[in-house]
Structure 1
Amino acid sequence: MSEFDEQAGRRAWLALLKEDYRRLGADTRYDDDAASHYSWDNRVPNHQQVKVGDIIALWDEHELLGMSVIEAIERGVGTKDISRCRTCGKTNLERRTTLSPEYRCYNCKETFDAPVIETVPVETFRSNHSQGWISLPGTLRADELRALCVKPKSQNSFRELRWSDFLTAMRLSSDFGNLLAPLEVTAMQLNGGHTIRPVRVRVGQTGFRAELLRRFGAVCAFSGPLPAPALDACHLYSYATVGHHDPHGGLLLRRDLHTLFDRGLIAVDRDCHIDVSFELRPFPIYSELHGRDFAIEPDNKQKKWLRLHWDEFRPRAS
């Protein structure tokens, strides 16, 4: 069992992306961005339990959107407008878009045109989780996610996940490599590990990609020339370890090849030949790449990072 499997004392949370504001009322808004940050306050259950290094999985009440590891939590103070029922004073309200009166109380079932608004001071929290973010729509449905929670019937914004069961479900959801590779390396590094794998990062990504285009032109390192918009900047190193964008530690890859490379389904052997995993070889678009030379000439630094990637995902062939 790996350190990531054991979680090293971390907890995993299912967090509801608040795109639907019917129950918030009082024009309350959050600035959540699933791929980078998530906001909450001290009126949210479990608000003090969520820590740096924990896993955060975002969903929209329909399906899993993606997951990451929390790198930092910004704390602040502010105010929050609380909507209360005019009859019972409870806050569990629904804002209806097609019915009148507009509001309905889940507690006493009363309906009314406008709630009572109370402004209260709050402590605010905002996660930073962009480094290890993995987009995962279509992997787990809402009913599957609820069943994987410690308390399946919970209605909280933060719901603790049964980590080992969730991890098993995620790995069973894909026949093609390790979906969680970028997440694993970020989690391990936050815990002091030094495993090196390619990961996708966003801070400074535009300049990094521009430098790769300047050096190599609009050429996928595996498949050859392509329109520039079809190319991703792929890091061959762990950004969390290096700490800056090194143009000698990157390649331009077609977007699907970037994803497959991140998962180790495509690698580069010590002779700089492309190695396509057995799972992909039934697909001609990928099998035709197997054994081919690079479309560019990698420099010594790139060869070093490619060897580390090979050793990570093809240890038996090393």
Structure 2
Amino acid sequence: MIEGTIPTRTALVLQQTALTVGVSPTHLSGAVEMDPVALGDDRIRVPIESAWRMWEMIGFAGGPGAGLCASAAAGRGTLGVWDYLFSSRATLAESLRTVMELRSAVTDPSVDWQVLEDGGMLTVRVGVAVEADPVFVPVEEFVLALVLRRVREATGAHIIPIRVAFTHRASGRHAHLIDEFGTSRIDFGASHSEISFLDIADLPTGRDPHLGDLLCDYARLTLAGARPLPSWLDRFHTAVADAIASGDLSLGTVSARMLTSPRTLQRRLTELGTGWRDEVDRVRRQRAMDLLRETDLTVQAVAARVGFSDARALRRAFVQWTGQSPADFRTGQPVQAHRGPL
């Protein structure tokens, strides 16, 4: 499930924009957790909550026009295959419908994006799934300016919209919007956020239908394999499991694997309502259960693999965790009691 997430490429644009408008790296990293390694994978998705926190910081630090900084940071290709879907079909209208259909390649799939045609008028309408008016100001600027940039790139023409509409109220002067969109017909407090064009629906965009099909197939395959970014606690569990496997389980070793200090790691666990011992036990318990369930290893061998000194130590811990001995768990005996907190 990818609802409630955005792609890492979009998250990186927001991260760069936040830094550009003056958000401190410390403030940004403290509010938004993004594993640098995972961000290199197009299939990894970032929680939408992280996007909203970045948008809040962008709007606060950047003020009017902050969303345009984000669209300027998203040069063609920055957002991956989605950028090229604007040229995936024979005409602009057809390409835009494909862009909206595959919008999950750049945003939360719950966001409602539409292409509307009324006579010679072509309108791209965008929306969000939450009500967050102050945050939505830079979001609207970003999305509508980005659509205009991609339309111009796909057609090779300096197209001017006949109307741009925002749902938020006007705040002071908006010359920056007139400069960006090339029109003074900018409405505020509208029922929808949208950008409209006249007599451009049939403009040619894609010149190779086979290439267009390949682009769409690639976008769908990427979305099919998408998965959420592992949480901090997930990454901590992985670091603990790796340390156990290497025979070097310690707070210092795990914190080094997490690229943080032991004190910061312990503080983060406390913030999450847990602690070092509880989470290490959780990892050991799950690993021991998996080995007992999936292998024929002796209890002594299982004990060694999960970091216990001998089989007796594992038996004591396992009864504490599950109310069963390892042997009873393996044979499927009913649980008699559960004395552990986990």
Which range, TM-score by smaller chain? Answer: under 0.3
TM-score by length of 1: 0.23
TM-score by length of 2: 0.22
More strand by share: 1
More helix by share: 2
Tell me which structure has the larger Cα radius of gyration.
2
